[in-house]
Structure 1
Amino acid sequence: MTTICIDCRYIGARPSGIGEVVQGLVDWAPMLAPDLRFLLLRSAGRSTPLSTARNVAEVIVPHAANGPATMWWLRHVVDLKGVDLFHAPANIMPAGLPVPCVVTVHDVMWLTHPSWCRSGVRGLIDRAFYRHGIRRALRDAAALATVSAASAGAIAALAPSAAARTSVTLSGVSPRFAPVGGMEGRLAALGLAAGRRHVLTVGQYAPYKNHDGALRAFAQAFAGRGDVDLVLVQRMGRGASALLALAEQLGIGGRVQVLAGVAFEDLLALYSSAAALLHPSFCEGFGNPLAEAMACGCPVVTSDVSAMPEVTAGAALLASPYDPGAIAAQLRRVVDDAGLAEVMRQRGLARAGELSWRRFAEANLAVYRRVLGAGA
Structure 2
Amino acid sequence: MRIGIDCRYVRIGRHDGISRFTAGVVAHLPDRHDVVLLVSDERQRESLPAELPWELVPAPTEPGEPLVARHVNRLGLDAVFSPMQTMGSRGRRYALVLTLHDLIYYRNRTPPREFSWPIRLGWRAFHLAWWPQRMLLNGADGVVTVSETTAGLIAEHRLTRRPVTVAYNAADPAAVRPADGPRERSLVYMGSFMPYKNVETLAAALPLLGADWTLHCMSRVSDADRARLDALAPGAVVFHDGASDQEYLDTLRSATALVTASYDEGFGIPLVESMGVGTPVAVSDVPIFREIGGDVAEYFDPSSPSAVAAAVRRLEARWASASAASVTQAARFRWADSAERVLQAVERAVADRAR
TM-score of the pair, normalised by structure 1: 0.83
Structure 1, residues 36-82: CA drift from partner, whole Å, max 9, x if none? 121111233335472245xx42113463x4x1347324234545431
Deviation at residue 127 of structure 1 after TM alignment: 2.1
Alignment of 1:64-103 (within 5 A): 65=60, 67-69=61-63, 71-78=65-72, 80-98=74-92, 99-103=94-98
Structure 1, residues 186-216: CA drift from partner, whole Å, max 9, x if none? xxxxxxxxx9631110012222322122222
Rounded Cα–Cα distance in structure 2 between residues aligned with 1:277 and 1:260: 17
Rounded Cα–Cα distance in structure 2 between residues aligned with 1:248 and 1:360: 39
Aligned residue type for 1:167: T
Deviation at residue 139 of structure 1 after TM alignment: 3.1
Aligned residue type for 1:84: D
Alignment of 1:240-259 (within 5 A): 241-250=223-232, 252-259=233-240
Alignment of 1:257-296 (within 5 A): 257-296=238-277
Rounded Cα–Cα distance in structure 2 between residues aligned with 1:104 and 1:46: 19
1:114 is paired with a residue whose SS is: coil
Q: Does 1:59 align with 2:55?
A: yes
Counterpart of 2:22 in structure 1 is 22
1:351–1:149 CA distance, 2 compared to 1 (3 A): same
Counterpart of 2:197 in structure 1 is 209
Counterpart of 2:188 in structure 1 is 200
Counterpart of 1:227 in structure 2 is 212
Aligned residue type for 2:108: H
- Equivalent residues of 2:7, 2:38 under 8 A apart: yes
Q: Does 1:113 align with 2:108?
A: yes
1:68 is paired with a residue whose SS is: coil
- Equivalent residues of 2:185, 2:255 under 8 A apart: yes
1:33–1:133 CA distance, 2 compared to 1 (3 A): farther
1:68–1:120 CA distance, 2 compared to 1 (3 A): closer
1:324–1:49 CA distance, 2 compared to 1 (3 A): closer
1:255–1:97 CA distance, 2 compared to 1 (3 A): farther
Aligned residue type for 1:68: E
Counterpart of 1:38 in structure 2 is 35
Please point out which of 323, 332, 346 is paired with 1:345. 323
1:47–1:298 CA distance, 2 compared to 1 (3 A): same
Deviation at residue 121 of structure 1 after TM alignment: 8.4
Rounded Cα–Cα distance in structure 1 between residues aligned with 2:244 and 2:230: 28
Bigger helix fraction? 1
Structure 1, residues 88-121: CA drift from partner, whole Å, max 9, x if none? 2023232425133211110012234324866998
Rounded Cα–Cα distance in structure 1 between residues aligned with 2:226 and 2:262: 19
1:96–1:62 CA distance, 2 compared to 1 (3 A): closer
RMSD of aligned Cα (Å): 2.7
- Equivalent residues of 1:214, 1:324 under 8 A apart: yes
Aligned residue type for 2:228: L
- Equivalent residues of 2:2, 2:79 under 8 A apart: yes
Rounded Cα–Cα distance in structure 1 between residues aligned with 2:74 and 2:253: 44
- Equivalent residues of 1:213, 1:324 under 8 A apart: yes
Please point out which of 327, 339, 346 is paired with 1:361. 339
Higher mean C-alpha displacement, 91-100 vs 347-356: 91-100
Aligned residue type for 1:371: A
Rounded Cα–Cα distance in structure 1 between residues aligned with 2:62 and 2:298: 41
Rounded Cα–Cα distance in structure 2 between residues aligned with 1:242 and 1:306: 31
Structure 2 stretches of 5 or more lacking a match? none
Rounded Cα–Cα distance in structure 2 between residues aligned with 1:97 and 1:20: 29
Rounded Cα–Cα distance in structure 2 between residues aligned with 1:74 and 1:21: 22
2:283 is paired with a residue whose SS is: strand
Counterpart of 1:187 in structure 2 is none
Structure 1, residues 266-320: CA drift from partner, whole Å, max 9, x if none? 1111111111101121122211100000011111001221311101122110112
Structure 1, residues 323-361: CA drift from partner, whole Å, max 9, x if none? 3332221022224x2xx1111111110011121111001
TM-score of the pair, normalised by structure 2: 0.88
2:319 is paired with a residue whose SS is: helix
- Equivalent residues of 1:73, 1:95 under 8 A apart: yes
Deviation at residue 227 of structure 1 after TM alignment: 0.6
- Equivalent residues of 1:116, 1:207 under 8 A apart: no
Structure 1, residues 138-162: CA drift from partner, whole Å, max 9, x if none? 332211110000011111122x252
- Equivalent residues of 1:117, 1:207 under 8 A apart: no
Structure 1 stretches of 5 or more lacking a match? 185-194
